[in-house]
Structure 1
């Protein structure tokens, strides 16, 4: 199973459209996780073009929560969210100030908020911030791909179209 991970899209519709095309095409992901700050309900309409399931958490800049929930068919929730996918435990936050303290029985710890990509490991645990899809603050538009079958995680830039 391949999972696309994005965060901090901040209503950047151009970048959302690009990543949906990448996830539906070249990357062929099976699931997309959004780590918060989609921002407005109209941006969810773009996520609804995905050829796979998606879900996410709310971030500190998500304004119209009810509108986002309705348009996403209730796929967004307040963090944290804990899911088991392909026998892997995945916890999703927006703000990652406690990620270092998450028990190592959780396989993947995903968060956003800082707009800075980060990939590190604590024992067998993967801690991932995909960075900012919007490209605001750092000027780089980044996302991540987790391949659960190959146990591989990588951070990519939107500009490379990888």
Structure 2
């Protein structure tokens, strides 16, 4: 299964629309996992229209309309792996232990909020993946998203993709 992982799209606050590269990757994926902070249903609808399967959650910047459509935590089995998606996992310090305790029954936890890419494995717990943000890089050098392959109970080819300057707010391709 080809997976696209994204978070913190912040449309239209940080970008007028989702980057074309992200939408193309969504169309090529078997499942898209979005870890919240859409900020507008337009982003949800755009990804849903291009996705074979969309698994998403709401974030702290998502209002009542998005919260009515999305859960706080989503779970799915993909490629023989148990996934959970959540927006915020708290501070970086102690994250692995906190997430292992909160999600003892998952293999992979996708999260967002910080806009900082993250890829670690909690001791005895899940692999933790934060794809960063494709529209609001904050203190990072580039806007980002991730892709991965899930098959036969294994996660392979986890790749962090860097988007160019055209993905940033106010820039035109």
**TM-score interval, normalised by the smaller of the two chains:** 0.7 to 0.9
Q: CA RMSD in A?
A: 2.4
Contact 2:115 2:138 in 1 (8 A): yes
Contact 2:57 2:86 in 1 (8 A): yes
C-alpha separation between the residues in 1 aligned to 2:159 and 2:103?
Answer: 22
> Could you tell me which residue of structure 2 aligns to residue 128 of structure 1?
129
Note closer, same or farther for the CA distance 1:103–1:19 as it changes in structure 2 (3 Å cut): closer
C-alpha separation between the residues in 1 aligned to 2:81 and 2:18?
Answer: 29
Q: Which runs of 5+ in 1 are unaligned?
A: none
- Equivalent runs, 1:94-109 vs 2, <5 Å: 94-97=87-90, 98-109=98-109
Contact 1:13 1:43 in 2 (8 A): no
What displacement does 1:59 show?
0.2
Q: Which runs of 4+ in 1 moved over 6 A?
A: none
Which is worse superposed, 50-59 or 132-141? Answer: 132-141
Which of the two has higher C-alpha Rg?
A: 2
Contact 1:109 1:128 in 2 (8 A): yes
- Alignment length, in residue pairs? 150
Superposition TM-score, scaled by structure 1 size:
0.79
Note closer, same or farther for the CA distance 1:81–1:144 as it changes in structure 2 (3 Å cut): same
Contact 1:6 1:132 in 2 (8 A): yes
1:159 to 146, 157, 164: 164
> Could you tell me which residue of structure 1 aligns to residue 82 of structure 2?
89
- Equivalent runs, 1:5-154 vs 2, <5 Å: 5-11=5-11, 12-24=15-27, 28-63=28-63, 65-66=64-65, 68=66, 74=69, 76-77=70-71, 79-97=72-90, 98-123=98-123, 125-139=126-140, 140-149=142-151, 151-152=155-156, 153-154=158-159
